[in-house]
A = this chain, B = another copy of it.
Amino acid sequence: MISKKTKYAINALVFLAKREGQGPIVISEIAEKEHIPRKFLESILLNLKKAGILASKKGKGGGYYLLQNPDEINLADVMRLFDGPIAFLPCVTYKYYERCEECKDEETCGIRDVFFEVKKKTVELLKKASLSEIIKRENRLISLL
């Protein structure tokens, strides 16, 4: 399960993507509309800014806005940013690689082999899931009602 932090981040990003081009949006508005605790959201947005996904403007008329394109920002990156690795085992991650202590031989580990395949497929799907894609899906679901 993803953490609330990640869930909040995704919701905030989708919210901002829907308002793209409308200038900065203040934290409070995102918090209210998306039902996210204000102070908690602050630190989340700050992280997204540090990651180069969002930018902010201070003072009156300020707020947050997307720095990257909605079709560049994807769930794999956002999830990794807040929850760390997506894989089920440290030994099948790329950026967070770590050997399993209990493991006898990584090269021939059947468990690792399975989890590598799972991770590969998962990341593939999550990489495709950009903000644009999420909004596209939402519109499709609405049209089907």
Interface range on chain A (Cβ under 8 Å from partner): 35 or more
Render A109-143 as a binary contact track against B, CB cut-off 8 A, 1 for contact.
Answer: 11101100110011001100100011111100110
How far is B111's CA from A2's CA once the two chains are assembled, in angstroms?
12
> Given the complex, which residues of B lie within 8 Å of A1, measured CB to CB?
84-85, 87-90
Judge whether A11 is part of the interface by a CB distance below 8 angstroms.
yes
Q: Tell me, rounded to whole Å, the shortest Cβ–Cβ distance linking A63 to chain B.
A: 20
Identify the A interface with B (CB < 8 A). Answer: 1-2, 7-8, 10-11, 14, 34-36, 75, 79, 84-85, 87-90, 100-102, 107-111, 113-114, 117-118, 121-122, 125-126, 129, 133-138, 141-142, 145
